[in-house]
Amino acid sequence: MPEIRVKPKQGENGTELELIEDEGVRAWAPDADLQIVGQPHPRLEGREKVTGRARYASDVRLPGQLYARVLRSPYPHARIVSVDIGKAEQAPGVRAVIHAGNVPRIPWYEEGVLFESTVRFVGDEIAAVAAESEEQAEDALRLIEVEYEPLPFVSTIEEALAPDAPWVHDDGNIAGEPKTYERGDPDAGLRDADVTIDAAYSTASALHNAFESHGCTTFWDGDSLTLWDSTQAIFVIREQVAEKLGLPEHRVRVVKHHMGGGFGAKQIAWKHDVIASLLSRQAGRPVQLMLDREAENLAAGNRNPTRQRVRLGARRDGTLTAIVADIHQASGAYRTGGEASNVSGTYQTLYNCPNVRTEQVAVYTNTGPAVAFRAPGHVEAAFALEQAMDELARTLEMDPVKLRRQNYSEVDQLEGKPFTLPEGLRLSYDRVADAFGWGAEKPPPSSESKRRGVGFAAHDWSGGTGHPPGYAWIELNADGTADVITGTQDIGTGTRTGLAQVAAEELGLPLDCIAFRLGDTATGPYSPVSSGSATQATIGPAVRAAAAEVKAQLLEVASSVLEVGADRLSVRAGRILVDGDEERSIAVSAVTEKIRPHTLQGRGARGPNPEDKTIRTFGAQCVELEVDIETGEIDRLRIAAAHDCGRIVNPTLVDSQVVGGITQGVGFALTEERTVDPRLGLVLNANLEEYHVPTVADAPAIEHARVGVPDSEANSTGAKGIGEPPLIPTAPAIANAVYDAIGIRFREGPLSRARVVAALAEQRAQGEGSRP
Amino acid sequence: MEPSRHLPVTLSVNGSQYPILIEPRRTLLDALRHDLGLTGAKKVCDMGDCGACTVIVDGKAMYACLLLAVDCDDREITTIEGLATGNELDPVQEAFIRADAFQCGFCTSGQIMSLRALLDANPEPDDDQILRAVTGNLCRCGAYPNILKAGRLAADLQAQAASNGQ
Ligand code: FES
Ligand code: FES
């Protein structure tokens, strides 16, 4: 029985207890001879996905199922004078209508409730209908009569901070306390610097646009509720929905087998989860509520826009003497609790610098609430910091990679602890520069109107580390195959496959002997949210621990079957091997059959992270591109990427994460920008027509230069996360390459065609003006 | 339900006939997903921007969200559910698995149907034709390079199967 300790810690609500659970295994050595971990393998759920059988939340079909739609505010800010649902209730096919007048005041967000009497963004929830079909639900929405008293509103950070700005909430437009951080003497650092950079950057709000919208199908059985939810966090949904509805957690079951993308926006219970549950209870029938594309883009999260003033000080040799960042971010109308957008972090940790100050102020605006979006905060910060570093390198006439090497940190400067893999970032620099051919002569542009440029950017990421708690169970079946069960979820990243490889490796079974089950709170043990690129590093060690426990039992039984001491036995490729006596090897099933119908079972818990070291993920990217100075078009992108994600459990999956992250980074850099009409407060591109995500024709040529050095101090598998990091450095590396090509610095993102054309025109006008 | 607002239509999908009674405004996508329970084609934008709903209608890849079901009477429709023969996958499906041409999988049936329609019309496409076949299919996970690889691989697998069959 693995050892358990209890440790008191200071939590938000006073002293909490932390359970320290022993994994009972030692980390695989960096050079361990592994058979399955480290091998490329297609996704285990591939067959389901290519045949259309994979069941997503929107594919659930239950007898008597109704379809729901939500009535949303057409105004960015308004008081609701009255809501009349009389006609809607009589409409054909309608089975339930809910609004503030007929449901309990369920607390929501900070001070609010489920259906507010003041709506604060276009898309804010007012009422909902469940009907026999989606079309009928939509018809009924049009029959709900709402009287609004429109109120003045603010759409941008600037408007929200203006002295006479209308207030989004009763206590003003500043959301929570400003977050400040300081070490050393940043003012002196700037004063004493040989060179300083002082520049203001801004990033736009990007929309997640996960292909499967948010939504769920809910069903009551007595007072037990089941939700098939499109979520990254089945246990979070269970906890939050239970709390909102006043149910014990064990009466709520959340199921998620497959999900069509989340990218951070699906880690909390949103209003639609509870709305669907209430409608379902009122109608006495299952209810499916999937957001349509517009609602998805209005009301289910976005990347917070930012304004960042960055000041850097450096000595002539490139050594940083100060980093100062003044940051504003727009939270939208509410703080969801899932925004987690720490824009300050990377300023504090990426580069070695004794004098750092950051101030981060969150601002309310009358726009949809922001929520975490793949590497939240770091993507926004990298756009500014990594361009500022490029500006510094150019001022110093220094190679930008050299400048970064000059300011290398092997320790976590926040905690004063060394990193578990201090060379992670350096290895990334080496591999990416090598793969890209950094410093090599640029080939000539492909036509006369084109200019070619190259750019570089680095990043760190506080995620990817994994953490307790997280559990796994394994049952070794009588036929020698194994069922691995966890309560985690596969959000499209390949979690099933990566974790099954860990189980197969430790058990000594072929991968096709593993059935991997996840995504159901009723059948698997607790797992945390799949966010922060943590799932493999959180659950992998728990799976390994469970497998080790089963393996120990198996060898024990095998030792009586073979009449050899268990210490001379091992398992490989489904066979029990006797040390020094190959002849006597037998199949695992020959042992398990002997004890049928008994089975061997193991339980694994994620143990604690090291106390004296900090785990972190790092990476760097190089970009080459062309800018057409006549059309403003940016194309022919070639990107090389190297990321320290520890041991690569499955290169197929990691390559796909890198390519996917970079592709979203290209969107963030060049085209993705939510546009809000300043006069009406309406989002003008809440769709996939005018909001431009990259298409196949926009996909850059990507080379992933794998780092793949196991981080054996991070956890027992040596693997860290890779989901978010590849997106972080792409946009600044592109912006730096654009500067290299045409000598224009874009401090406002994205580098849309319109911005590039305007800047080129200005450049031409200035050039002509300055001519004698 | 008000039957007066519904029209009879017979959808011919994956070789089977489905007589159904639907509202004239119901899209082919909704008819497939709700009336026939064929949920492989996905609804993402519902306005012809993304391609996740792609099915093959009379030999052509079409966005099912832009077709009215009542207009599909007597047209030959193939969906992702109709590609595999028993347990044997279509070469395009097989290629998608091998090339890791998806992550979340939500765009996948649309991508596969677009490439299936291409290979039906042109069994030996060049790379540019493969790219053009899927330009109407967005992938938010950014699996694009592997989708193109899968298109190439599918053409090869299909050619191999054809030559083995001879
Ligand atoms: S759902 Fe039909 S094209 Fe997007
Ligand atoms: S695989 Fe997720 S949208 Fe294409």
Same domain for B77 and B16: yes
Measured torsion, CA atoms of residues A711, A717, A723, A728, in degrees rounded to the nearest 10: -10
Does B66 lie in the same domain as B118? Answer: no
A385 shares its domain with A246: no
Residues 46-65 of B with CB under 8 A from A: 46-47, 49-50, 52
Shared-domain flag, residues B77 and B11: yes
Distance B48 CA to ligand 1 centre (A): 5
Tell whether A103 and A239 lie within a shared domain.
yes
Q: Band the pLDDT of A768: cuts 50, 70, 90.
A: confident
As a whole number, mean pLDDT of residues A449-476 equals 96
Instruction: Give every CB contact of residue A511 below 8 A, 6+ residues apart in sequence.
Output: A36, A41, A500, A501, A504
Contact status, residue A570 vs residue A548, Cβ threshold 8 Å: no
Is residue B158 located within the same domain as residue B116?
yes
Contact B144 A53 (CB under 8 A): no
User: Which chain A residue shows the shortest CA-CA distance from B108?
Assistant: A50
Pairwise CB contact (< 8 Å): A212 & B42: yes
Angstrom distance (rounded) from CA A153 to CA A600: 63
The answer to whether residues B72 and B13 belong to one domain is yes
Cβ contact (<8 Å) for B42 and A211?
yes
* Ligand 2 cavity residues, CB under 6 Å: A 211, 261, 492; B 102-108, 139-141, 143
* Inter-chain touch A52–B34, beta carbons under 8 Å: no
In whole angstroms, what is the distance from residue A206 CA to residue A375 CA? 13
Of A576, A605, A634, the domain-final residue:
A605
> Do A525 and A670 lie in a common domain?
no
Q: Tell me the backbone φ, ψ of residue A354, rounded to 5 degrees.
A: -75, -25
Residue A388 is assigned to a structural domain of this protein? yes
The average pLDDT across A281-302 equals 98
Place A114 in a pLDDT band, splitting at 50, 70 and 90.
Answer: very high
Q: In whole angstroms, what is the distance from residue A56 CA to residue A260 CA?
A: 7
As a dihedral over the C-alpha atoms of residue A364, residue A365, residue A369, residue A374, rounded to 10 degrees, the angle is -80
State how beta strands A224-229 and A215-221 pair.
Answer: antiparallel
- For B26, the closest of A135, A494, A689 (CB atoms) is A135
Whether residue B55 lies inside any domain: the answer is: yes
Taking the CA of residue A309 and the nearest CA in chain B, the distance in Å comes to 31
Question: Which one of A41, A48, A50, A664 would you mutate to disrupt binding with B, by most B Cβ within 10 Å of its Cβ?
Answer: A50
Instruction: Tell me the two tokens of residue A631.
Output: 């059309």
Quick check: A206 and A277 in contact, CB under 8 A? no
Question: Residue B159: inside a domain, yes or no?
Answer: yes
Distance between B91 CA and the closest CA of chain A, angstroms: 11
Could B104 and A51 be called an inter-chain contact, meaning their C-beta atoms sit closer than 8 Å?
no
Q: Do A717 and A623 reside in the same domain of the chain?
A: yes
Residue among A42, A52, A93 minimizing CB distance to B98: A42
Co-location of B96 and B138 in the same domain: yes
Residues of chain B with Cβ-Cβ distance to A133 below 8 Å are: 23, 34
Assess whether A118 and A134 both reside in one domain.
yes
Q: A656 versus A9: which is more confidently predicted?
A: A656
Q: Which of B49, B82, B115 is the last residue of a domain?
A: B82
Query: Is residue B125 in a domain?
Result: yes
Ligand nearest to C-alpha B104: 2
Residue A413 has pLDDT above 70, yes or no: yes
Three-class secondary structure assignment of A355-423: CEEEEEEEEECCCCCCCCCCCCCHHHHHHHHHHHHHHHHHHHCCCHHHHHHHCCCCEECCCCEEECCCC
Q: Note the ligand closest to the C-alpha atom of B112.
A: 2
Q: Which ligand is nearest to the CA of B44?
A: 1
CA distance A394 to A397: 5
pLDDT at B3 over 70: no
Q: Which residues, in sequence order, are CB contacts of A47 under 8 Å at separation 6+?
A: A53, B89, B97
Residue B2 lies in a domain: no
Residues spanned by the domain of A514: 4-33+466-605
Contact A51 B26 (CB under 8 A): no
Residues in A touching B106 (Cβ below 8 Å): 56, 210-212, 260-261, 492
**Mean pLDDT confidence for B22-46:** 97
Please give the DSSP secondary-structure letter assigned to residue A613.
Answer: S
Ligand 1 atom closest to residue B46's alpha carbon, by position in its atom list: 1
CATH no. for residue B150? 1.10.150.120
- The nearest CA of chain A is from the CA of B12 a distance in Å of 18
- Domain boundary, last residue among B28, B63, B82: B82
B60 CA to centre of ligand 1 in angstroms: 16
Residue B165: the pLDDT is 77
Residues A504 and A475 in one domain: yes
What is the Cα–Cα distance from A755 to A750, expressed in whole angstroms? 8
* Residue A45, domain member (yes or no): no
Tell whether the model's pLDDT for residue B15 goes beyond 70.
Answer: yes
| CATH code for the domain of A515 | 3.30.365.10
Ligand sitting nearest the alpha carbon of B108: 2
> How crowded is residue A535: how many other Cβ atoms within 10 Å of its Cβ?
29
pLDDT the model gives residue A111: 87
Give per-residue pLDDT as tens, A129-152: 999 999 999 999 999 999 999 999
Asked if A439 and A474 sit in the same domain, the reply is no
Which of A51, A530, A687 would you mutate first to test chain B, the one with the most B CBs within 10 A? A51
3-class secondary structure, A20: strand
Best residue among B27, B30, B45, B139 to mutate for probing ligand 1, ranked by most atoms within 8 Å of CB: B45
Boundary-marking domain end, from B40, B62, B82: B82
pLDDT cut 70: percent of chain A above it: 99
Q: Last residue of some domain: A539, A572, A605?
A: A605
* Residue from the list B81, B94, B146 with its beta carbon closest to the beta carbon of A656: B146
**Is A635 within a domain?**
yes
The predicted-structure confidence for A573-586, as pLDDT tens digits, reads as follows 999 999 999 899 99
Residues of A in Cβ contact (< 8 Å) with B105: 45, 48-50, 54, 258, 260, 492
Residue A220 falls inside a structural domain: yes
| Structure-token pair, residue A557 | 């039984």
Q: Are residues B73 and B113 in the same domain?
A: no
User: Are B74 and B132 within one domain?
Assistant: no
Residue among A266, A51, A704, A142 nearest B84 (CA): A51
A702 and B145 within 8 Å at the Cβ level: the answer is: yes
Six-digit token pair at A390? Answer: 């490029």
The CATH number of whichever domain residue B46 belongs to comes to: 3.10.20.30
Q: Is the peptide bond before A694 cis (omega within 30 degrees of 0)?
A: no
Nearest atom in ligand 1 to B44's CA:
1
CB A272 within 8 A of CB A217: no
Residues of B in contact with A92 (CB under 8 A): 1-2
In a domain? residue B65: yes
The whole-number pLDDT of residue A18 equals: 87
| Chain B residues close to A51, C-beta within 8 Å | 40, 80-81, 83-84, 89, 93
Residues of B in contact with A292 (CB under 8 A): 46
Task: Give the count of beta carbons closer than 10 Å to the beta carbon of residue A633.
Answer: 16
Domain annotation covers residue A42: no
Across the range A418-430, mean pLDDT stands at 98
For chain A, give the mean pLDDT: 96
B57 within some domain? yes
Which helix (H) or strand (E) segment holds residue B11: the answer is strand B7-13
The residue out of A299, A320, A347 marking a domain boundary is A299
Supply the range of the domain harboring residue B100: 91-163
What is A427-455 written as a DSSP string? HHHHHHHHHHTTTSPPPPPSSTTEEEEEE
Query: Which atom of ligand 1 lies nearest, measured to the CA of B50?
Result: 4
Strand order in the sheet with A586-587: A569-572, A575-578, A586-587
CB contact under 8 A, A696 and B108: no
Q: Check whether A1 has a pLDDT greater than 60.
A: no
pLDDT tens string A329-352? 999 999 998 766 899 999 999 999
Which of these, A463, A607, A464, A462, lies nearest to A541 by C-alpha position? A607
Mean pLDDT, residues A696-722: 97
ipTM score over 0.85, yes or no: yes
Distance CA A749, CA A740 (A): 17
Spatial separation of the C-alpha atoms in residues A384 and A307, rounded to whole Å:
9
What's the CA gap between B118 and B114, in Å, rounded? 6
* Residue B111 sits at the chain A interface (C-beta within 8 Å): no
Q: What is the arithmetic mean of pLDDT over A275-292?
A: 98
Instruction: Name the residue among A135, A660, A697 with its Cβ closest to that of B103.
Output: A660
Q: Are residues B60 and B107 in the same domain?
A: no
- Token code pair at residue A573: 């490729």
Residue type, B35: D
pLDDT of residue A2: 57
Which two three-digit tokens encode residue A568?
A: 């001379």
pLDDT for A125: 98
Count the domains in chain B.
2
- Whose CA is closest to A59, among A213, A193, A186? A213
The answer as to whether A163 is a domain residue is no
Question: Mean pLDDT of all residues in chain B?
Answer: 96
- Note whether A287 and A405 are same-domain residues: no
Task: Name the residue of B28, B30, B32, B53 to mutate for ligand 1: max ligand atoms within 8 A of Cβ.
Answer: B53
Instruction: Identify the CA nearest to A73 among candidates A685, A690, A688, A681.
Output: A681
Judge whether A165 lies within some domain.
no
Beta strand pairing call for A617-628 and A634-644: antiparallel
Are A107 and A16 part of one and the same domain? no
* A-B contacts (CB, under 8 Å): 172
Give the closest of B25, B33, B103 to A493, CB-based.
B103
| Phi, psi torsion values for A764, nearest 5 degrees | -65, -45
- The mean per-residue pLDDT over the stretch A77-88 comes to 98
Q: Which ligand is nearest to the CA of B51?
A: 1
Question: In this predicted model, what pLDDT tens digit does every residue of A479-493 receive, in sequence order?
Answer: 999 999 999 999 999
The answer to whether position B1 is within a domain reads no
B128: three-class secondary structure by DSSP: helix
Q: DSSP label at A26?
A: P
Same domain, yes or no, for B95 and B37?
no
The tally of domains found in chain A comes to: 3
Q: Are residues A433 and A475 in the same domain?
A: no
Residue A287 lies in a domain: yes
The answer to which of A193-197, A590-594, A685-689, B162-166 has the lowest mean pLDDT is: B162-166
Which ligand 2 atom minimizes the distance to the CA of B105?
1
Residue A627's H or E segment, with its range, is: strand A617-628
* Helix, strand, coil % in chain B, rounded to nearest 5: 45, 15, 40
Partner-chain contact A46 B96, CB within 8 Å: yes
A142: tokens are 């049009």
Is B147 inside a domain boundary?
Answer: yes
Report the SS3 class of residue A183.
strand
Q: What is the 3-state secondary structure (H, E, C) of A469-499?
A: CCEEEEEECCCCCEEEEECCCCCCCCHHHHH
Distance CA A552, CA A375 (A): 39
Quickly count helices (H) and strands (E) in chain B: 5, 5
Length, in residues, of chain B? 166
Of A45, A261, A696, the CB nearest to B135: A696
- Looking at residue A772, what is its pLDDT? 47
DSSP for A549-588, please give it.
HHHHHHHHHHHHHHTS-GGGEEEETTEEEETT-GGG-EEH
| Ligand 2, atom nearest to B104 Cα | 2
